[in-house]
């Protein structure tokens, strides 16, 4: 069995640990109007990237991953809190192939379920046994603050006619990367790592998190539709100001530029122009630029890992970064 | 100067401490789309009941109130988080004489501002220096969970045709009383009180919190309109299932019963029938029953205080309970 095979199996083992812990959280509590939709959210599955990074970081820092399970569960519940509230704000009708909470129930239920998820995230986190619990809870909280700020920027950008690539990068650092960085850092703290190890883990998470988001932007236009599980070009049709759109806007000229500014002006592109948009993305070098950034971030993430002692968990974090780089959906 | 005067002045001193700390929290942060409405919320004022109870409880347990200021600020921010989100769910257009966040901005902004307030509440709480910080944060978190459950019951009751008085009492215990109990308990923990003192403080908070809510229900119908600052009978017009309505429904008969069930069926009463509703509330004994409950809860709250050593703060908590009992607006 090759090492990638072993790593993938190991990843699955950690993921199942998290799924099982999540599964035991809600059992017929009252009021049902709150706990039924809450259970629906936690049952939806997902890649569980953040908790697995947290567990691996704990191990890579020299700790026992099982001690970090409560914190891992906390970070996953926190992630689901952001999804439920973001889906309201984004008017999203479905997620992971199922109706969103505010669509299946209503907005009030979704607001309250999100609030309760945030409280449950803290409840799980505070079960962690660590002399550093205050520091851990502080880092977790700064993560929540930045996620809110990131989402505020994201909504603000929707209504603005121009957004710079730098502003976009700040936004995804807050909205996406920070939470992966928090996962890695908290894992390191639970694992009782020394200061350089914890710093390396945090930076690893920042790079991986940012790469993940830009890769997401890329896949929306270069992925195979069947693998992606949804129509290619969805971001364009929705008029999302992604890295690609902002980068292409920066360098396109003439008719191409007009096509792109029309997407912004009309708050959405035309589905039948997607092949055309894609051509512009390639010709302006936006695709190449995004790929360069993702590659660079993954390389940086892996470089940070060299500061940690060699271990299976350290190797797996490297494998995980590569997997994000090579993912096709 | 009589002792009530001194207590009132002392209360004001604590209140100003909290106001000042809140004032320093938000200073021109980005993004403005998030921090401007957030500041608007924290600037709105309020009685600051919960943080003052927390500071007094810290002192009554033998601690220095200034050590509890971060926790006091946390509990007040948490309270404001619940107001912002509840106002969305309740479709409330104004609060404290100003537009609610979702009315002045929009629902998305109000959702995000609430989320950020919750994160900021934890940020403040986690600044507390106490060997018991993990326990304190756990108690705070269970408070958030119960507030969410209380709000879920409250919304559920709106759509139900019958709600028992017992169910109503459970709801206000979660939605209102719990947070006062949490304030008192956390104050006691920061003050390093012994176990019986902390238990006494928690129970004091539970009783005072419940009394406060039932007194609120009472004032809606028996208060002087000018003192109350809003029209008497608002709860009836909105069809709120208050203690009074549920208690009167239990014992009314004939035409009176029909008038009350009409309020429930039509999801609201008629403004011109308010004198009639008031008569029914008096004649069924609902008013007397509510007054009895408030009086009993206040007496119980004060009895708990006897378990604490005699001190100025202990006396002030007693004065504060009496003030709630005698408040007219």
pLDDT for A325 equals 82
pLDDT for A3 equals 62
What value of ipTM does the predicted structure carry?
A: 0.96
Q: What is the pLDDT confidence band of residue A2, given thresholds at 50, 70 and 90?
A: low
pLDDT for B3 equals 62
CB contact under 8 Å between A123 and B114, yes or no, is no
Chain B positions touching A123 (Cβ under 8 A) are 138, 141-142, 145
Backbone angles phi, psi at B126, to 5 degrees: -75, -5
Q: Over 50: is that where the pLDDT of B293 sits?
A: yes
| Overall CATH class of domain B3-323 | mainly alpha
pLDDT in tens, A43-60: 998 999 999 999 999 999
CB contact under 8 Å between B151 and A112, yes or no, is yes
Report the residue of A148, A150, A175, A190 to disrupt the B interface, i.e. the one with the largest count of B CBs within 10 Å: A148
pLDDT in tens, B52-68: 999 999 999 999 999 99
pLDDT in tens, A128-178: 999 999 999 999 999 999 999 999 999 999 999 999 999 999 999 999 999
pLDDT in tens, B313-329: 999 999 999 998 888 76
Q: Which of A25-29, A222-226, A287-291 has the highest mean pLDDT?
A: A287-291
pLDDT for B227 equals 74
Q: Over 70: is that where the pLDDT of B15 sits?
A: yes
pLDDT in tens, A66-101: 999 999 999 999 999 999 999 999 999 999 889 999
- Per residue, the 3-state secondary structure of chain B, as one string, reads CCHHHHHHHHHHHHHHHHHHHHHCCCCCCCCHHHHHHHHHHHCCCCCCHHHHHHHHHHHHCCCCHHHHHHHHHHHHHHHHHHHHHHHHHCCCCEECCEECHHHHCCHHHHHHHHHHHHHHHHHHHCCCCCCCHHHHHHHHHHHHHHHHHHHHHHHHHHHCCCCCHHHHHHHHHHHHHHHHHHHHHHHHHHCCCCHHHHHHHHHHHHHHHHHHHHHHHHHHHHCCHHHHCCCCCHHHHHCCCCHHHHHHHHHCCHHHHHHHHHHHHCCCCCHHHHHHHHHHHHHCCHHHHHHHHHHHHHHHHHHHHCCCCCCHHHHHHHHHHHHHHHCCC
We find that the CATH architecture of domain A3-324 is: Orthogonal Bundle (1.10)
pLDDT for A327 equals 82
Cβ of B275 under 8 Å from any chain A Cβ?
A: no
Q: What is the pTM of this model?
A: 0.96
Domain boundaries, chain B: 3-323
Cβ of A25 under 8 Å from any chain B Cβ?
A: no
């Amino acid at each position: 069995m090759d090492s990638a095979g072993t790593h993938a199996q190991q990843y699955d083992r950690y993921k199942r640990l998290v799924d099982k812990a999540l599964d035991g959280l809600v059992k017929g509590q009252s009021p049902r109007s709150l706990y039924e939709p809450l259970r629906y959210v936690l049952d939806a599955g997902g890649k569980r990237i953040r908790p697995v990074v947290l567990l691996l970081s704990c191990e890579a820092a020299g700790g026992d991953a099982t001690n970090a399970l409560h914190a891992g569960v906390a970070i996953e519940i926190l992630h689901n809190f952001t999804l439920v509230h973001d889906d309201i704000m984004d008017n999203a009708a479905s997620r992971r192939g199922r109706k969103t909470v505010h669509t299946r129930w209503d907005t009030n239920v979704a607001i309250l379920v999100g609030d309760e998820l945030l409280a449950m995230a803290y409840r799980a986190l505070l079960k962690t046994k660590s002399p550093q619990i205050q520091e851990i809870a502080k880092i977790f909280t700064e993560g929540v603050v930045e996620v809110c700020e990131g989402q505020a920027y994201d909504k603000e950008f929707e209504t603005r006619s121009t957004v710079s690539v730098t502003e976009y990068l700040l936004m995804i650092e807050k909205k996406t990367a920070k939470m992966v960085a928090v996962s890695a850092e908290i894992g390191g703290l639970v694992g009782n790592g020394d200061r350089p190890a914890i710093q390396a883990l945090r930076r690893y998470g920042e790079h991986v998190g940012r790469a993940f988001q830009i890769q997401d932007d890329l896949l929306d236009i270069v992925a195979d539709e069947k693998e992606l599980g949804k129509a290619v070009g969805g971001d364009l049709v929705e008029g999302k100001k992604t890295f690609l759109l902002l980068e292409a806007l920066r360098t396109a000229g003439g008719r191409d530029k007009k096509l792109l500014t029309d997407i912004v002006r009309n708050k959405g592109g035309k589905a039948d122009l997607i092949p055309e948009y894609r051509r512009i993305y390639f010709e302006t070098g936006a695709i190449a630029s995004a790929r360069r950034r993702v590659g660079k971030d993954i390389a940086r993430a892996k470089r940070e890992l060299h500061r940690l002692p060699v271990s299976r968990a350290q190797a797996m974090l490297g494998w995980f970064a590569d997997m994000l780089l090579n993912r096709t959906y």
